[in-house]
């Protein structure tokens, strides 16, 4: 089994971040094609026909998202979401640090498609290396005439602004990102109105994930049917899977969306120490976990993962081996969501605090029999009652752990100690 390299095709090439090297490997050919030979509507139709879906979380059809933007309201903006912050997710950083021009070219094509006058690249604050690489790439794009006035000799003009975030996970949520971009506290907005109608600075705005936009240039050059040769009818193409946890070769791998999860884990070297799988997170830490039985039979397309009771999310696959205490896993991930809650809504702000407080009783050897039911109650009351998906999905690590490994919680209650102490394995909180 071999990877299908579309987004990763330039990763590993010497000096791949340089525009000259990028252009030697078909760089900016797609942008030149759209601004000289295609109308904005034709670009949108090609992306629609390809079936390209968002790679940041929701998996919404990209071309459809672009088509929602009003044609008669100006100015309009494109915002590139590079605020990759979810535990286990590191695939966008690979593109940012190895192929930044692919993101820029895709963003400029998107800008042409909706006739936007400016592209905002919103970069996670902790990505210091990526910031310097992207800043240099933007400067090179201007110098070569692929950004600014009359792009590639056409009548289309578009500027690029690089904006560095301040380290808040909530700003990965698109409306919180817009608030941060405008200089406000990063908190999600009420919707409607949706960003396509009223986004950055009150103007129509499309927010796309970095990987999503990096897929646009090869689709323009090769056509929608070329992209559809991989994956499934409803989940076509390939995707970057960030595989980590208890595997021998953690990394970012690109495969068709219908790859089996067990094959993906095997490609990453299998489980460390030839241990059995205990649980797998299929789409970033907010996605409900699969037990071993489900993980061994599910494929990684959007529909199959949803039918199995989870969601594809950011395609970050975290493998948890047998011998790991799921109380520790739940505590570690729930602490993250408690720290990253923006505090706007009570269920998220207070719910994550109480989940951590009770889980720490387990961790510190003070768990009570009724605490298991208390965790279930608080977690379930958070789902569907929060202002945004951060709060709605924050209980998922805990609820998954309770479902997959109730014996771990019961062991803590009975013995006031961790089952890992019996075997020395696991992920440590």
Question: 392-413: per-residue pLDDT in tens?
Answer: 999 999 999 999 999 999 999 9
Average pLDDT score over residue span 214-226: 99
Pick the CATH number of 19-227 from 3.40.50.11540, 3.20.20.70, 3.40.50.10480, 1.10.10.60: 3.40.50.11540
Own/partner long-range contacts of 258-263 (Cβ < 8 Å, ≥24 apart): 258/230, 258/231, 258/232, 258/299, 258/300, 258/301, 258/304, 259/299, 259/300, 260/297, 260/298, 260/299, 260/300, 261/290, 261/295, 261/296, 261/298, 261/299, 261/300, 261/317, 262/295, 262/296, 262/297, 263/1
Extents of the domains making up the chain: 19-227, 238-321, 330-422
The pTM assigned to this predicted structure is: 0.95
For the cut 80, the answer to whether the pLDDT of residue 160 exceeds it is yes
Q: What's residue 330's pLDDT? A: 98
CA distance 118 to 204: 11
CA distance 259 to 244: 17
Average pLDDT score over residue span 180-200: 96
- Split at pLDDT 50, 70, 90, the class of 425 is low
| Average model confidence (pLDDT) across the chain | 96
Average pLDDT score over residue span 166-184: 96
For the cut 80, the answer to whether the pLDDT of residue 426 exceeds it is no
CA distance 107 to 55: 14
Q: What's residue 229's pLDDT? A: 98
Which ranges constitute the DSSP H helices of 51-119?
Answer: 62-67, 91-98, 100-114
The edge-to-edge listing of strands for the beta sheet with 205-209 is 159-164, 118-123, 77-82, 205-209
Average pLDDT score over residue span 119-142: 98
Q: What's residue 421's pLDDT? A: 79
Q: What is the per-residue pLDDT across 131-155, written as a single tens digit (0 to 9) for each?
A: 999 999 999 999 999 999 999 999 9
For the cut 80, the answer to whether the pLDDT of residue 427 exceeds it is no
Q: What's residue 429's pLDDT? A: 37
In 3D, which of 6, 90, 140 has the Cα closest to residue 285?
A: 90
Structural tokens at position 319: 């493998």
Cα–Cα separations (whole angstroms), residue 261 to 93, 209, 279 = 22, 23, 12
Cis-peptide, bond into residue 94, ω within 30° of zero: no
Average pLDDT score over residue span 304-311: 98
φ, ψ of residue 391 to 5 degrees: the values are -70, -40
Average pLDDT score over residue span 93-99: 98
- Fold of domain 330-422: de novo design (two linked rop proteins) (1.20.1440)
% of the chain with per-residue pLDDT over 90: 97
Pick the CATH number of 238-321 from 1.20.120.1200, 3.40.140.10, 3.40.50.720, 3.10.20.600: 3.10.20.600
């Amino acid at each position: 089994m071999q990877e299908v390299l579309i987004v990763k095709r330039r990763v590993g090439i010497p000096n791949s971040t340089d525009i000259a090297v990028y252009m030697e490997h078909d760089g900016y050919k797609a942008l030149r094609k759209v601004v000289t030979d295609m109308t904005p509507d034709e670009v949108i139709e090609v992306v629609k026909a390809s079936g390209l879906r968002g790679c940041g979380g929701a998996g919404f059809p990209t071309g459809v998202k672009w088509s929602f933007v009003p044609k008669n309201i100006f100015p309009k903006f494109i915002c590139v979401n590079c605020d990759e912050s979810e535990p286990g997710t590191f695939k966008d950083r690979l593109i940012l640090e190895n192929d930044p021009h692919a993101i820029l070219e895709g963003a400029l094509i998107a800008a042409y498609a909706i006739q936007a006058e400016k592209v905002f690249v919103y970069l996670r604050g902790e990505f210091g290396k990526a910031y310097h690489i992207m800043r240099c790439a933007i400067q090179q794009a201007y110098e070569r005439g692929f950004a600014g006035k009359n792009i590639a000799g056409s009548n289309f003009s578009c500027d690029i602004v690089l904006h560095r975030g301040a380290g808040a996970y909530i700003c990965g949520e698109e409306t919180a990102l817009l608030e941060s971009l405008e200089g406000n506290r990063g908190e999600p907005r009420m919707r409607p109105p949706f960003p396509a109608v009223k986004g950055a600075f009150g103007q129509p705005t499309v927010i796309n994930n970095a990987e999503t936009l990096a897929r646009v240039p090869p689709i323009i050059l090769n056509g929608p049917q070329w992209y559809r040769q991989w994956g499934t009818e409803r989940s076509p193409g390939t995707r970057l899977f960030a595989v980590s946890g208890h595997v021998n070769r953690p990394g970012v791998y690109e495969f068709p969306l219908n790859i089996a999860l067990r094959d993906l884990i095997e490609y990453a070297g299998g489980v460390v120490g030839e241990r059995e799988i205990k649980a797998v997170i299929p789409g970033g830490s907010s996605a409900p976990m699969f037990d071993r039985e489900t993980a061994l039979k599910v494929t990684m397309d959007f529909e199959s993962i949803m039918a199995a009771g989870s969601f594809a999310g950011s395609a970050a696959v975290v493998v948890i081996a047998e011998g790991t205490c799921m109380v520790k896993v739940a505590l570690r991930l729930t602490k993250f969501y408690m720290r990253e809650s923006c505090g706007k809504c009570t269920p998220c702000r207070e719910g994550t605090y109480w989940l951590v407080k009770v889980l720490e009783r387990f961790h510190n050897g003070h768990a009570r029999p009724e605490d298991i039911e208390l965790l279930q109650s608080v977690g379930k009351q958070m789902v569907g009652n929060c202002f945004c998906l951060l709060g709605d999905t924050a209980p998922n690590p805990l609820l998954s752990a309770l479902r997959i490994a109730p014996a771990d919680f019961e062991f803590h209650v009975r013995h006031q100690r961790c089952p890992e102490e019996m075997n020395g394995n696991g992920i440590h909180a």
